[in-house]
Amino acid sequence: MGSVYLSRTRGNQPVALKVIRREYAQDEEFRRRFEQEATAARRVQGYHIVPVVDHDTTGPQPWLATTYVPGLALDQILIEHGTLPLPAVLQLTGCAAEALHAVHKAGVIHRDMKPSNILIGSEGPWIIDFGIARATDATQLTRSGGLIGTPQFMSPEHAGGQDLTPATDVFSLGLIAAVAATGRHPYGDAGAITLATKIANTEFRPPDLTVYPEPLRTVLERTLAADPAARPTPSELAELCQELGERPLRDFTGWLPAPIAADIAHREQLARHQAETEPGPDSGDAAGADTAPPGPAAGAATVPPGAAAAAGTAPPDAVTSDGYTPTQASLPGEQRPHDPT
């Protein structure tokens, strides 16, 4: 949906600033839906949720700001460090389920649960981008007849173009757990569209879950049920994962393998260093890219006009780009792919 920048509030708190792509910004129906979804997302509060702190739909390009988490996206962890130990996956799944409980309680459906929308930090996993994908539906469906979301992590009802309920997020979380623990997708190694087709037909050809170890298999059998009504609620899934993992979900002492924990600790250190040594937005000085901590995704090095809180209407701690350029969210010399989500 756009590019993500590392930015800061007027109170000098780091935020992830997502600036929406121009083709969406030019569609008034999208702006209306984006405003609706962003407003709903700001109501969501709970454990393991990266909250939306501000947004704007009136400028040349709409934007959305969330609290910045100096961690690693799950997809990045799987690429750079490989699969996670089963206890960590159970804890990750249980915590993400707790987050989904809060999301659904606020009347929001995530609709695009995937590894890149789960950030892993020292204090557990964090869900981002809840509910925002729905804002693109009218624009995208009108243009291409396609579906919004990530095909290989859709639920059967989502892949089949049916109405969605909160149970769609539970199915997607089950797929994420399978991949995070084993690197194997329950529906095989085909391309994304082929996987979505297999998922849509899961009632007639369910995946072979016998290849997955216990207790992960128990989680998958529950979450990957073809019938949405047969899947556990997020609260039930959280309790199941805590029981199977034999560890309190909120005990994060040593919950990650040492290399991953060290990588995250390094990012946290960079974030603290930047906050201590660099001037805030009100000073008028640019934040230095050479010391920028890595963010959830890479973006361009400048923010388009309009990605600032409106003068006279912004809350005291609102996002602003006046007087400085947000730093690119990547380590010096690190090559990160552009995030088109």
Contact of 249 with 95, CB cutoff 8 Å: yes
Question: How far is it, in rounded angstroms, from Cα 102 to Cα 92?
Answer: 16
Contact of 118 with 127, CB cutoff 8 Å: yes
Radius of gyration of the chain (CA): 20
Burial string for 46-78 (b: 16+ CB within 10 Å, else e) reads eebbbbbbbbbbebebbbbbbbbbbbbbbbbbb
Burial string for 95-123 (b: 16+ CB within 10 Å, else e) reads bbbbbbbbbbebebbbbbbbbbbbbbbbb
The yes-or-no answer on residue 54 being catalytic is no
Token couple for 92: 């990750």
* Catalytic residue selected from 54, 56, 75, 112: 112
How many residues does this entry show for the chain?
A: 341
Question: How far is it, in rounded angstroms, from Cα 302 to Cα 286?
Answer: 11
8-state DSSP, 230: G
Dihedral sign computed on CA atoms, order 238, 239, 244, 249: positive
Question: How far is it, in rounded angstroms, from Cα 219 to Cα 223?
Answer: 6
Contact of 247 with 208, CB cutoff 8 Å: no
Q: How many CA atoms lie within 13 A of 195 on its CB side?
A: 17
Residues annotated as catalytic (active site), given as ranges: 112
